């Protein structure tokens, strides 16, 4: 009977905390320490903004997020994770892809640190305090939450006599409630039931299934990641459409904030391109018809081949100036035609100004226009430029840049037979801010443009460098008007080598001197191939090669073929090919020797054969002698 009384008293004392006032603390998860870890499902994030996890004295609410298995509801309708007010958790959470997860092994200490582990069939053991995982909250038990929960004017342990420890879940009773392990007794130790010291063997036995599970898991294939449940997220999305999604706002439109974006997309073509289009009406037409009108369209030009007309062709629309396909010297142009010449553009001619160079327009990687024309090393080059305003002088410089030509986004409009002289950044005369920005040490040639007939067109004649490579021609215009100062036009020139004749000897090539190289062209009038009249173009045809075996022709547009004759070699009769205006012919030609067998049968071989014959004859004589002796 006495025992029964004691039991009733004990139960009564145990139930006292139930009547105690609840803590006012409503905690959230720490933004740094928010990850639990499971061998089976990986990281579990308790602190996502969308998950909105809250810890109160009685329960946990919100959602935890598993990287691989989606949302875990901490407060499902049929269960939920409960808090006994002192941080000892119990009850179960629910994951669409994980099933139930039991939290009875998890606790929160009076500093808000989670410890222990939850467990589930799929999730396995979800640890809250492993080597790299930790979950922390700002929730505190009533005796450590800086709140006077029982309104007795005393706050927390040890000030409030109702608190037996900082981990006590109630300030409500000043009488020590005694008991342990119940729902929040005053003497509840800070170590929760599941963390009580257990005998080592029991611990080991308890840990055995987990260890076995880990071993089994090692041999199991990895589970494929499961998509997070849509239903869980559904609950997070507001039914009412947020302002952003109402379709009323222009999310990418003109505002002060995105002005640079608008500026970029609507910006016109760079001034260099506009100036070019202004100076070459055909180019303007091309731009208009292909819709190249804005800065962003420059990118579209990169893979396209554009060719600007040479001096004669650019003037042809303004009146008859000579036969089709042939250039006209500047001096022979009428004053009216000369006025139409695009200003501040350097035109290149050759062959006594009878051949105009084709100008290939390309776009560099930086989106700048670049002009290229083609020639061959050591040939004469006539340059012509028309300044916009009266000038005191026009000077030119040839500067060496590099041995090989630089790759550009566009190819030259030349076939493989042709050489190239490249003029880059050429067209546009830039005001010269500094004194002549010529790399003095690299200047190969300095020359002066002259205007003997005072027609406003300045011309100069230079020899292209003999060594192939990349060069730059800089034309500097010194204006009479001091305000205008000086302007420079920079041109990049790539010079390719001449063609040569050779004979192949294994891997080596032997140049052939003294060969006669004749160039034949298809005369459009007679429709017959004739020897090309090179003298009209200040050149020779046929050409006789020197010790280097080199030859080259700079020819106007047309159809041509080459014929090569050399002593002791078979005659080479090339196939006809097309040449564009202002291009060079410099094919490397292999000649076959007439006496090819001489190479195989030299004096040593002849001597060897002779020796073999003598031997055979000797054997024959021996045989004859033997027969005679037998007889």
Q: How far apart are CA 118 and CA 194, in angstroms?
A: 11
Q: How far apart are CA 631 and CA 626, in angstroms?
A: 9
Q: Out of 242, 291, 435, 506, name the contact with another protein by CB under 8 A.
A: 242
Tell me which H or E stretch contains 90. Answer: strand 89-95
CB of 366 vs another protein, minimal distance in Å? 22
CB of 242 vs another protein, minimal distance in Å? 5
Q: Out of 138, 180, 211, 249, name the contact with another protein by CB under 8 A.
A: 249
Within residues 7-66, the interface with another protein by CB under 8 A covers 48-50, 65
Q: Are strands 63-66 and 70-73 parallel, antiparallel or unpaired?
A: antiparallel
CB of 549 vs another protein, minimal distance in Å? 50
Q: Does 239 bind another protein (CB under 8 A)?
A: yes
Q: 361-388 b/e with 16+ CB inside 10 Å = b?
A: bbbeeeeebbbbbbbbbbbbbbbbbbbe
Cβ 424 vs Cβ 372: under 8 Å: yes
165 in helix, strand or coil?
coil
The 8-class DSSP code of residue 2 comes to H
Cβ closer to another protein: 49 or 197? Answer: 49
Query: Could you tell me which stretch among 151-159, 212-220, 222-230, 352-360 binds another protein (CB under 8 A)?
Result: 222-230
Whether the ω angle into residue 158 lies within 30 degrees of 0, i.e. cis, is yes
What does the CA dihedral 606, 607, 608, 611 come to, rounded to 10 degrees?
120
Query: What's the farthest any 2 CA atoms get from each other in the chain?
Result: 158
Cβ closer to another protein: 199 or 247? Answer: 247
Query: Could you tell me which stretch among 254-262, 280-288, 484-492, 583-591 binds another protein (CB under 8 A)?
Result: 254-262
Q: Does 307 bind another protein (CB under 8 A)?
A: no
Residues 6+ apart with CB under 8 A from 132: 35, 37
What does the CA dihedral 48, 50, 51, 53 come to, rounded to 10 degrees?
80
What does the CA dihedral 215, 216, 222, 223 come to, rounded to 10 degrees?
-130
Q: Out of 32, 146, 244, 629, name the contact with another protein by CB under 8 A.
A: 244
Tell me which H or E stretch contains 555. Answer: strand 553-555
CB of 241 vs another protein, minimal distance in Å? 6
Cβ closer to another protein: 47 or 185? Answer: 47
Q: Out of 233, 259, 266, 605, name the contact with another protein by CB under 8 A.
A: 233
Cβ closer to another protein: 242 or 335? Answer: 242
Cβ closer to another protein: 241 or 450? Answer: 241
CB of 316 vs another protein, minimal distance in Å? 49
Quick count: other Cβ atoms within 10 Å of Cβ 398?
A: 22
62 in helix, strand or coil?
coil
Q: Out of 26, 67, 388, 546, name the contact with another protein by CB under 8 A.
A: 67
Q: Does 259 bind another protein (CB under 8 A)?
A: no
CB of 572 vs another protein, minimal distance in Å? 52
185 in helix, strand or coil?
coil
Q: Out of 250, 416, 526, 628, name the contact with another protein by CB under 8 A.
A: 250
Q: Out of 237, 331, 598, 608, name the contact with another protein by CB under 8 A.
A: 237
Query: Could you tell me which stretch among 172-180, 236-244, 285-293, 443-451 binds another protein (CB under 8 A)?
Result: 236-244
Interacting residue ranges for another protein, rule: CB under 8 A: 48-50, 65, 67, 227-228, 230, 233-234, 236-237, 239, 241-247, 249-253, 255, 257-258
């Amino acid at each position: 009977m006495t025992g029964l009384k004691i039991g009733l008293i004990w139960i009564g004392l145990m139930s006292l905390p139930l009547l105690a006032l609840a803590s006012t603390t409503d905690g959230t998860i720490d933004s740094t320490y928010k990850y639990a870890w499971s061998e089976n499902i990986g990281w579990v994030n308790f602190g996502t903004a969308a998950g909105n996890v809250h810890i109160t004295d009685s329960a946990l609410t919100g959602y935890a997020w598993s990287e691989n298995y989606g949302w875990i509801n901490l407060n499902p309708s049929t269960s939920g994770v409960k808090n006994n007010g002192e941080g000892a958790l119990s009850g179960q959470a629910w994951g669409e892809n994980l099933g139930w997860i039991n939290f009875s092994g998890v606790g929160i200490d009076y500093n808000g640190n989670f410890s222990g582990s939850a467990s589930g069939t799929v999730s396995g053991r979800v640890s809250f305090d492993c080597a790299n995982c930790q979950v922390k909250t700002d929730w505190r038990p009533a005796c450590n939450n800086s709140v006077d929960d029982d309104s007795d004017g005393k706050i927390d342990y040890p000030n409030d006599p109702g608190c037996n420890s900082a981990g006590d879940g109630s300030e409500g009773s000043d009488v020590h409630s005694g008991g342990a392990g119940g729902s929040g007794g005053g003497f509840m130790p800070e170590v929760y039931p599941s963390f009580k010291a257990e005998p080592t063997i029991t611990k080991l036995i308890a840990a055995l299934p987990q260890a076995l599970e880990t071993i089994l898991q090692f041999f199991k294939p990895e589970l494929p990641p499961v998509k997070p449940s849509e239903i869980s997220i559904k609950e997070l999305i507001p039914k009412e459409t947020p302002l952003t999604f109402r379709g009323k706002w222009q999310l990418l439109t003109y505002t002060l904030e995105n002005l640079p974006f608008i500026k970029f997309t609507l910006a016109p073509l760079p001034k260099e391109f506009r100036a070019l289009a202004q100076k070459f009406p055909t180019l303007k037409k091309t731009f208009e018809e292909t819709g190249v009108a804005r800065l962003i369209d420059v990118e579209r030009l990169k893979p396209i081949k554009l060719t600007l007309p040479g001096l004669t062709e650019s003037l042809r629309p303004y009146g008859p100036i000579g036969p089709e396909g042939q250039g006209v010297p500047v001096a022979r142009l009428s004053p009216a035609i000369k006025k139409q010449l695009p200003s501040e553009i350097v035109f290149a001619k050759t062959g006594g100004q009878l051949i105009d160079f084709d100008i290939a327009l390309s776009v560099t990687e930086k989106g700048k226009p670049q002009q290229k024309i083609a020639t061959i090393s050591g040939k004469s080059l006539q340059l012509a430029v028309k300044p916009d305003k009266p000038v005191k002088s026009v000077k030119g410089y040839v500067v060496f840049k590099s041995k090989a030509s630089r790759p550009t986004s566009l190819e030259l409009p030349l076939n493989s037979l042709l050489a190239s002289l490249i003029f880059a950044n050429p067209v546009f005369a830039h005001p010269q801010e500094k004194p002549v920005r010529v790399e003095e040490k690299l200047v190969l040639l300095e020359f002066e443009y002259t205007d003997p007939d005072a027609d406003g067109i300045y011309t100069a004649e230079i020899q292209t460098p003999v060594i192939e490579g990349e060069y730059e021609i800089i034309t500097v215009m010194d204006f009479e008007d001091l305000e205008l100062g000086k302007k420079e036009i920079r041109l990049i020139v790539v010079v390719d080598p001449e063609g040569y004749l050779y004979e192949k000897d294994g891997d080596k090539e032997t140049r052939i001197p003294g060969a006669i190289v004749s160039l034949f062209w298809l005369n459009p009038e007679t429709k017959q191939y004739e020897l090309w009249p090179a003298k009209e173009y200040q050149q020779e045809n046929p050409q006789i090669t020197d010790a280097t075996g080199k030859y080259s022709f700079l020819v106007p547009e047309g159809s041509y073929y080459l014929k090569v004759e050399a002593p002791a070699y078979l005659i080479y009769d090339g196939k006809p090919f097309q040449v564009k205006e202002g291009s060079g012919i410099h094919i490397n030609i292999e000649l076959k020797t007439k006496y090819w067998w001489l190479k195989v049968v030299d004096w040593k071989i002849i001597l060897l054969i002779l020796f073999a014959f003598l031997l055979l004859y000797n054997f024959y004589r021996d045989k004859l002698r033997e027969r005679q002796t037998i007889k």
